Chains A and B, each alone.
Chain A
Amino acid sequence: GAVVSQHPSWVICKSGTSVKIECRSLDFQATTMFWYRQFPKQSLMLMATSNEGSKATYEQGVEKDKFLINHASLTLSTLTVTSAHPEDSSFYICSAREITGEYEKLFFGSGTQLSVL
């Protein structure tokens, strides 16, 4: 079945540094990818929708200058947390949408645990 690879699985960084998270669809082309954030013991909240070749669409309350999304190819979307601060520490999950005919599926990456010191 389709696989979405997300790297890194976890990252620890110092406050003020930037962190890039990659999301790759391994065996299908994903014109649309989604980025979610999950705080401990909470649900997944959509941060932004990433469309290949165009600007990402951010959900209300998500700072687009803080969370830079690039979807330069049909198989890769990246999320860069710029000038990370401890409050950015969270679990980030991406998903990629596969459309085959009238059937649509979402496949999720394994997530990235970000800890900002």
Chain B
Amino acid sequence: AQKVTQAQTEISVVEKEDVTLDCVYETRDTTYYLFWYKQPPSGELVFLIRRNSFDEQNEISGRYSWNFQKSTSSFNFTITASQVVDSAVYFCALSDGNYGQNFVFGPGTRLSVLP
């Protein structure tokens, strides 16, 4: 069975601090996809990144970066120089290779960035 763990329930940081959100996953599939979504207070899910299991390259997009480590089954997300607008719930998710038929969300991490 697939499982996603986000051990940090809530994190509070002060603006301009860097923050890393942890994500650990479990799957028996050799082909799978990992995602991060942001859910602001308004409720909609904002897609941030998708990474397939064969691509372990780290990715940077502006202030966001992701560290994919297959050896530890982790897909951590770092926000550099955090801003108040980054305050949201962040979900890590895992999908199998079968065109996403099984899509599992982690419990989410609530990030509060204080001014």
A42 touching B107 by the CB < 8 A rule? yes
Q: How many pairs of residues, A versus B, come closer than 8 Å at their CB atoms?
A: 43
B103 near A106 with CB under 8 A, answer yes
Residues in B with CB closer than 8 Å to A99 are 99
Q: Contact between A108 and B103 (Cβ–Cβ < 8 Å)? A: no
Mark contacts of A102-117 with chain B using CB atoms, 8 A cut-off: 1 yes-contact digit, 0 otherwise: 0011111111010000
Question: Quick one: CB contact mask for A79-117 with B, threshold 8 Å, 1 for yes?
Answer: 000000000000101010101000011111111010000
Q: Tell me whether A97 and B100 are in contact in the complex, defined as CB-CB below 8 angstroms, given that A43-B107, A44-B105 are known contacts.
A: yes
Q: B74 to chain A: closest CB distance in Å?
A: 18
Q: Which residue of B44, B99, B108, B110 contacts A111 across the interface (Cβ within 8 Å)?
A: B44
B residues within 8 A CB of A42? 107-108
Interface range on chain B (Cβ under 8 Å from partner): 10 to 19
Q: What per-residue 1/0 map shows which CB atoms of A22-45 lie under 8 Å from chain B?
A: 000000000010100000011111
A residues 12-30 near B (Cβ < 8 Å) are none
Report the Cα distance A95→B95, complex, angstroms: 14
Interface residues of A in 45-79 (CB under 8 A from B): 45-46, 49
Instruction: Knowing that A45-B105, A49-B101 touch, tell me 7 more A-B residue pairs with CB under 8 angstroms.
Output: A34-B103, A43-B105, A43-B107, A104-B100, A108-B44, A108-B47, A110-B42
